[in-house]
Amino acid sequence: MNQEINEMILFYSFSKGFGKPVPMDYYDLVLAFLRQDSFYQEVIHYETLSSAMQQCLLIQPTFKEDTLNAIENYQEDKSRILAKCLLKQVLIFNFYDLEMCGIVGDNMLGEDENAWHFGKLASQMSFEKIMEMLHQPNYRIVMLQSDSLGKDVDLSQIQHLPNITIYETTEQSQVRNRIIDANIVITNKNLMNKDTLEDLNQLKLICLTATGVNNVDLDYCRQHHIQVRNIKGYSTDTVAQHTLALALHLIEKNKAYDDYVKTKAYARSQQFSFFDYHFHDISSLTWGIVGLGAIGRKVAHIASVLGAKVQYYSTSGNNSTDDYMQVDFDTLLQTSDIISIHAPLNEQTHYLFNEETLLKMKPSAYLINVGRGGIIEEKALVKVLNEGHLGGVGLDVFEHEPLLEDDMIYHIEDMDKVILTPHVGWGSIEARQRCVDETYQNVMSYINDEDRNIVV
């Protein structure tokens, strides 16, 4: 008798959690899911049914097959319990929108919190979608470059994805062999071009732990039905902050003044101040923004708060605002005291800054690149710097990453005029954790057939 009551409580609680009339098909799921210990214990901890199912797959790799078999095997039990629920007025059945459905009755035998939560989660999906998820084969997932996110972030969500292999680093020559049987690939900077992807017919998703997609052959992916997803907005504040840090380093001459004090030259001087290295108020300068996406807008806002006159050039021509003055590229080059680059690398921006355009900049101007390395032709940059043009340069991105041992950048004669950082502008601990979390959500949304951050 106790077992019979407990089973009716499961159906009652499921119906109550469902929160609306329950189409009869859904009752096929109650015993099939809740009689499995892995699901019964885990469901309460998740906000989507798909997430709970993914966790069960980690505990019980045959969870989907077991559930499908249970749906078929428990039909008689289901019918028996529903009949008891009807007789005891635990559930009432009626037609709603021409479909037979169940609702909770007046006789409340008790409640089961886990079954209630299962009903809530099930109500968020169609029965057909739930069955599709159960029939869907488990994806084989490969993460190629976990170290690119740092060792100090929490990867547990990604690590708990079923059937995943994680590599800390992957050389380009290793990529194809490592993803040969993968359905989903998570990567950062590995080249995903035709040579890498050709004949990998099982590959369904490339999930980038970055915003930029210049390392992926989008045309090939589009033609071969490989979806590409990226992440956006996770590093806007961080890159804007780094842009300001590079600008202040160059403008304020802090390194030179720091050296002056640390070498005890200040101690030997007769003056309480030392002004040999000139710097300016940002409020007296014009700050030019190249690329007015989210990061460009954030930097424009910071520059305006500091009092700079802000102007911008949209490389795509698609972004515009009345908040700042829009100018053509030549005007921006010729009139800006500071230029910061926040554009993607594409056909329009490749070598946008070459010898000709660099020489159009003011001789005293500062150039900062936190976009992509190939936007500046580094050979030309070194040449104009060594000829005495430009007040200073801040680079967080380079044509070769990491730099080559004999890289052109190391041919800059006056290194005091430059500050070089190793593509870390996006990488505060908070931003990198957001990157991990967004990547997990992108993978899960794909598995659940949801549109999210789709590039192609």
The residues that bridge with 208 in the sheet, in sequence order, are: 187
Closest to 166 (Cα-Cα) out of 454, 453, 441, 439: 439
Q: Phi first, then psi: what are they for 209, rounded to 5°? A: -90, 50
Measured at the CA of 303, the angle between CA 399 and CA 356, to 5 degrees, comes to 40
Active-site option among 140, 350, 423, 452: 423
Residue 225 is a catalytic residue: no
Residue 372 is a catalytic residue: yes
List, in order, residues 6 or more apart from 363 with CB less than 8 Å away: 388, 389, 390, 391
Active-site option among 4, 65, 387, 401: 401
Active-site option among 242, 372, 432, 434: 372
Distance of CA 37 to the CA centre of its chain: 34
By CB atoms closer than 10 A (0-12, 13-18, 19+), residue 333 is: buried
Query: Could you give the dihedral angle defined by the CA atoms of residues 184, 188, 189 and 191, in that order, rounded to the nearest 10 degrees?
Result: 10
Q: Phi first, then psi: what are they for 400, rounded to 5°? A: -115, 125
CA 209 vs CA 55, 151, 432: distances in Å: 22, 15, 9
Q: How many CB atoms lie within 10 A of CB 36?
A: 19
**Alpha-carbon distance 15 to 312, whole Å?**
57
List, in order, residues 6 or more apart from 197 with CB less than 8 Å away: 203, 217, 220, 221, 224, 226
Token pair in block for residue 314: 């949209």
Cis peptide before 422 (omega within 30 of 0): no
Q: How far apart are the first and last CA of the chain?
A: 57
Residue 76 is a catalytic residue: no
- Catalytic residue numbers? 372, 401, 423
